[in-house]
Amino acid sequence: MQTDTLVYIILIGIIALSLALFQYLKNTNKKLRVVLSILRFVSVFGVLLLLLNPKFEAVSFYEEKPNLVIAVDNSESINHLKQVENATNAYQQLITDERLSQKFNIESYKFGKETNILDSIDFSDNQSHFSNFFKSYNELHKGNTAPVVLISDGNQTIGSDYTYVAKQNNQPIYPVILGDTLSFSDLRLQQVNVNRYAYFKNRFPIEVIINYSGDAPIKSQLKISSGNNVLFSKIIELNDTKSSEIVNTTLNANRVGIKTYRVEILPLENEKNKVNNYKNFGVEIIDQKTNIALISDGLHPDLGAIKRSIESNEQRSVSILKPNDFISKSNDFQLVILYQPTNNFNSVFSRIQDLGINTFIITGNSTDFDFLNNIQSLFYQEITDQYEDYQPELNINYGTFLVNSISFDNYPPLQSEFGTLSFAVPEETILYKTVNGINTGTPLLSTYESGNNKYALLNGEGIWKWRAQNYLEQERFLDFDNFMSKLVQYLRSNKKRNRLNIDYRSFYNQNEPIIVNAQFFNKNYEFDANASLELTYKNKETDVTKTLPLLLKNSSYLIDLSGVEPGEYNFTIRNTDEPISSSGTFSVLEYNIEQQFLNADVTKLTSLSTITSGKSYFPNQVSDLIDNLINDSRYAIIQKSKRNVIPLIDWQYLLGLIVLSLSLEWFIRKYNGLI
């Protein structure tokens, strides 16, 4: 308490005593005079003290336990390696040990493709995403003492190398290694590299990587087949010094559509794991590639980002051209992207109009809006010669094509002309301009149609930042590239709008999500959130048919078909209230990545424990792990103090004392006839 506050309290005490004595000093009853004076002093002193409201410091002490994070690998590989019992017993032994509970705050998680709080474990996840768990862990326990017990086989199937991600938080990690540590002879297909698309009547390349674990020399046969036809074969000879081989070949694309193939390396005699000796893959054979002209009068990072994004779909090729170069090659292109048009684009616009090519215009700080407003009549940009940074906001009611894989939340702003943008034809906004989180109502990215042509307008430069942001968030460009692919697909096609649009892939691997999306519009082409959509799919080989409802999510309907058996499927999505439907075909390729492993990755898990100052254990050593954790001086319980500044007005007992003293004073005076 400060000195001046103490002086005020003394003055308050003197004032309260003076008032009490002044009122009761002349009372003839000495005993009554003392009692009433004390009660009056308490009442006045208490009220004045509340008005002063001094503050006091209260110090409390508490003990803080270190955290212990137990992470259980919930992937199918644990089941495949017959380690379910070992994993379950190790986990139960850890969470039921009273000594650990007394020393640590225990947190339990399970991870596969996603990381979740552990409520139950079934070892059914079809991916092992270690880095996803460690990223979540690093964010949650940054700066805290929180060692990790990792119950896993160490076999990773997706994500960044977990030894790199795990050591970023500088916490000890104690792997409990699940799996057979004995070494068996094993011949396996390590990887098959092939493009997703090929072109009709061309040959497409295949790269097969074969690995061998063993000491004795072996000979086997590699075969690539389609149906019952063997398209390629080769004798493979490996030994302890030559333990791998890369085989390259090409196959003929002789039929348009989806074609599935099987790569197989014949297993060794008595080989323990034969699942990793074959792999199925699919190739979509297309008739021709879409050629796109990206025309610019200067250099900009946007150009490279747009080209790489569009060409991530192998069905498309982008050529960056100067305006004059386009004229002589214009017949080669099915879509034109005009980047920041200037007066030099005059002949380009004329040629595009003559050919009737669909167009995507991107404007920015170098755009000549006087020229652009005069050369076309579909939109008009008010010219202010002022530029503003605008962030995107997704229009969830956009319905020309599905935009469901990217939200654009917290994406960097684009630079755009400050002024009103108006359209002379019907327009649909994909992205609105926002400033400081306020929607301006002005389109940033739009699509519109006129006659038989389709157009798009991006009213801002700096789109390269969006692709980079997508990588920062997802460690991949997939979401942004898919969005650009859908935009190009819309501009490439001259088909009229449908009330029911569907979005799916032509083939999926067995271990990945099989998601089908749909959008349904009413007769005014407004998104209908009350539609009743159902999907019926049929396996072409087994004739098994099933009908399932689609669920509404944001501005689209979706269904997850993950778990269906490998094979080719026909499907139809229909509205049960109207005779509107749309159909498609997809294939599910047999390949379970979690069944490709023969042993635990002991080397990697041991290395992980070493670089993080932990130690690795096996399931029969969990008791030793518990003793180590309890006896490790790094995990001591810390006593901490907490200082709280408490104002006197929060102390309710003082108010009760004032009420009590006033009540007693009134009662005594009333009883003695002084009132």
Q: What's residue 143's pLDDT?
A: 77
Judgement on whether residues 29 and 134 belong to the same structural domain of the protein: no
Contact 210, 247 (CB under 8 A): yes
Whether residue 166 is found in the same domain as residue 221: no
Q: What number is the average pLDDT over the span 425-454? A: 91
Give domain status of residue 599, yes or no: no
HEC profile for 137-190? HHHHCCCCCCCEEEEECCCCCCCCCHHHHHHHHCCCEEEEECCCCCCCCEEEEE
Using the predicted structure, report yes or no on whether residue 666 has a pLDDT greater than 60. Answer: yes
Q: Is the pLDDT of residue 25 over 90?
A: no
Query: Could you tell me if 460 and 477 lie in one domain?
Result: yes
For the chain, how many structural domains are there in total? Answer: 5
Residues 190, 169 share a domain: no
Evaluate whether residue 407 is within a structural domain: yes
Count Cβ atoms within 10 A of the Cβ of residue 400 and give its class: 0-12 exposed, 13-18 middle, 19 or more buried: buried
Q: At which of 250, 270, 286 does a domain end?
A: 286
CA distances 534 to 199, 266, 580, Å, are 34, 43, 11
Q: Among 189, 304, 577, 552, which residue's Cα sits nearest to residue 404? A: 552
The pLDDT of residue 326 is 93
Asked if residues 329 and 356 have their Cβ atoms less than 8 Å apart, the reply is: no
pLDDT over 90, % of the chain = 40
Residue 67 lies in a domain: no
DSSP count for the chain of H helices, then E strands: 16, 35
pLDDT per residue as tens digits for the range 641-662: 677 777 777 677 778 888 888 8
- Residue 459 counted as domain residue: yes
222 and 350 housed in the same domain? no
* Residues 523 and 469 both lie in one domain: no
91 plus 50 within the same structural domain: no
pLDDT digits (tens, 9 = 90+) for 434-443: 998 889 989 9
CA pair distance 71, 130, nearest whole angstrom: 10
Q: What is the pLDDT of residue 495?
A: 65
- Assign residue 327 the CATH number of its domain: 3.40.50.880
Position 66 in a domain: no
- Range of the structural domain that residue 48 is part of: 3-61+643-671
pLDDT at 165: 86
My answer on whether 173 and 127 are in the same domain is: yes
Instruction: Convert the pLDDT of each residue in 570-602 to its tens digit.
Output: 999 999 988 889 998 888 887 777 677 777 888
Residue in this structure with the two tokens 């390696």, named with its chain if needed: 81
Element (H or E) spanning 375, and its range? Answer: helix 369-375
Q: CATH number of the domain that 608 lies in?
A: 3.40.50.410
More confident position, 645 or 261: 261
C-alpha 498/C-alpha 491 separation (Å) is 15
Query: Is residue 409 assigned to a domain?
Result: yes
Q: Please name which of 328, 336, 377 lies closest in space to residue 356, comparing C-alpha atoms.
A: 336
What are φ and ψ of residue 547, in 5° steps? -120, 130
Judging by DSSP bridges, how do beta strands 290-296 and 203-213 pair with one another?
unpaired
Same domain for 163 and 87: yes
Q: Is residue 19 part of a domain?
A: yes
Poorest-confidence range of 118-132, 239-253, 440-454, 633-647? 633-647
Identify the three-state secondary structure at position 123.
coil
Q: What's the mean per-residue pLDDT of the chain?
A: 86
Are 272 and 297 part of one and the same domain?
A: no
Domain-located, residue 383:
yes
* Dihedral over alpha carbons 417, 422, 423, 427 (to 10 degrees): 80
- How far, CA to CA in Å, does 271 sit from each of 184, 241, 274? 8, 20, 7
pLDDT of residue 315: 81
Give the range among 445-459, 479-493, 501-515, 614-628 with minimum mean pLDDT.
501-515
Residues 299 and 400 in one domain: yes
Task: For residue 190, give the CATH number of its domain.
Answer: 2.60.40.10
More confident residue, 670 or 324: 324
Residues 323 and 260 in one domain: no
User: What one-letter code names the amino acid at 212?
Assistant: Y
